[in-house]
Structure 1
């Protein structure tokens, strides 16, 4: 490689949010599994906390933990695992991973597509879902469990803004939590790295999300010239844009229904995004003589 050419990475990272992106909202479906009206629970148990200044994510999990305790610690790690196993992804999701790998391979057999999940939701559910084996790494909120097994407190919180931390983490090839001593490794994740040190540059990252929790990631990828795709469920694109107020720097390349069948708009968008990056990598390979 000469000084005139860009560093080469043969990886494409496709990153997904979880709730309402790949599966139905896990809070609502978890509450329904406990015979709780999710809408009423949000209105009567979560919203009053938000109105008193609670962070929305903390308010949600505090209310769920309190409800579990009220039911003699009904929600355990085993309960969440079993719930995750039964949770059905949206149509076409299970086939989507191989389709995208094949699309990249058809352009360039040397290109590898990796999948990651970054969620503000319960990662324990995602880790036990049928699609979990497709992901190289999954990050999200995690519970600490009491002696009786019930959920007791959050031991890891992933906020909307902190989602971007994990984009930097995967770019540097860090699959799990950094083991550096200071501040849970955050300074290591954010330290400057030369382009040639990166596992996958953010220009070769595709991010798919459904709303406000994903805006920081949309913004970062637009800044870094990556690809941001938005999805919506049970609404229209116009409803989504009204609900999520975004600036020009936070816009997505395309906004499509959360439907992953082969001929769907979202699947076509993902396929085109992967193919375009595979072609870009092919061009870079020519410049370094691969």
Structure 2
């Protein structure tokens, strides 16, 4: 079987505290339904600590409990997602990053693709201004009951299962019906890990940071520069200075000229240059030279 072109660059983002300074629940879900955030998270923590729930299943259960008699449809959640707030520069930077590619890169067929992998609600992100800008969104999902209202978790993405979606991107298996565990030779995978950049905000992204480090990809940990407590910065500093999970940390500011954007611009350029050189070398290696006289 022929090898894949491998000319795509995939930038994968966490959502909460990465593309947004807020958790999506705090941003739009709780205000809309009149939910007290403090009480909500106390109930989630009780399920985790006292009953052994996974964190993500706990918050999905508490959402269903709170909205017991007035549950929305997934379409309602998508409409609510239109109100989400983002970090500076989002979503405009998605298109701007494509401008980093040179004519040589484009001639070589290099493309930049964006993905979101979140433990938050996919329906909210599907209805947001981000959806048209990205190749795929992976997040927790609710199935609907016979009356159309959300009824039960259909898909749960935890911080430990996020890495599955990096492998899906790596293999081009974006449909959940595809078995990501199927063997695929490295040369047939459309997005090698060294063509990936992962952007996240902290400890819940450690498995993805680790995967990037192991397989030659890039990773950036971002923090909220407006967090007066310094907690957001410190968790990123620990990941870089002590845990050695990432080489780069930056404020979650995606505007042109920011530290984060300069990192992303350089990483995209570096990967695009490598892809272009490899394709040029492959062409030259395959060229049959005319006999000399």
With the shorter chain as reference, the TM-score category is 0.7 to 0.9
CA RMSD across the alignment: 2.3
- Per the alignment, residue 139 of structure 1 pairs with 138
Greater Cα offset, 223-232 or 168-177? 168-177
Contact 1:204/1:277 (CA < 8 Å) preserved in 2?
Answer: yes
Per-residue deviation, 1:205: 0.4
Deviation at 1:68, TM superposition (A): 0.6
Q: Within the alignment, does 1:172 sit opposite 2:174 as a pair?
A: no
Unaligned runs of 5+ in 1: 1-5, 180-184
1:204 to partner: Cα distance: 0.5
| Corresponding residue for residue 79 of structure 1 | 76
Alignment correspondent of 2:147: 148
Q: 2:15 aligns with which of 14, 18, 24?
A: 18
- 1:51 Cα deviation from its structure 2 partner: 1.6
**Does the C-alpha gap of structure 1 residues 40 and 198 become closer, same or farther in structure 2, counting only changes over 3 Å?**
same
Match of 2:117 in 1: 118
| Residue of 215, 219, 227 corresponding to 1:235 | 227
Q: Structure 2 matches for 1:41-52, cutoff 5 A?
A: 41-43=40-42, 45-52=43-50
Structure 2 stretches lacking a partner, 5+ long: 285-293
Deviation readout 1:192-244 (Å, 9 max, x if unpaired): 32222010100100011112221111000100010011112243796346547
Distance in 1 separating the partners of 2:235 and 2:272: 34
The residue matched to 2:80 in structure 1 has which SS? helix
Tell me which residue corresponds to 1:210.
201
- Number of equivalenced pairs: 274
The answer to whether the 8 A contact 2:75-2:123 is kept is: no
Aligned to 1:287: 281
Q: 2:214 aligns with which of 223, 234, 252?
A: 223
Once the two structures are TM-superposed, the CA of residue 106 in structure 1 deviates from its matched residue by 5.4
Q: Tell me the secondary structure at the aligned position of residue 58 of structure 1.
A: helix
* 2:64 counterpart residue number: 65
In the TM superposition, residue 144 of structure 1 has moved relative to its aligned partner by: 1.1
Shift of 1:256: 1.3
Give, in angstroms, the shift of residue 88 of structure 1. 2.6
Contact 1:222 1:249 in 2 (8 A): no
- 1:41-95 CA deviation, whole Å, 9 max, x = no partner? 212x2121122121111111111110010xx224332321111112132221121
Q: Is the Cα contact below 8 Å between 1:105 and 1:111 reproduced in 2?
A: no
Cα deviation, residue 250, structure 1: 5.5
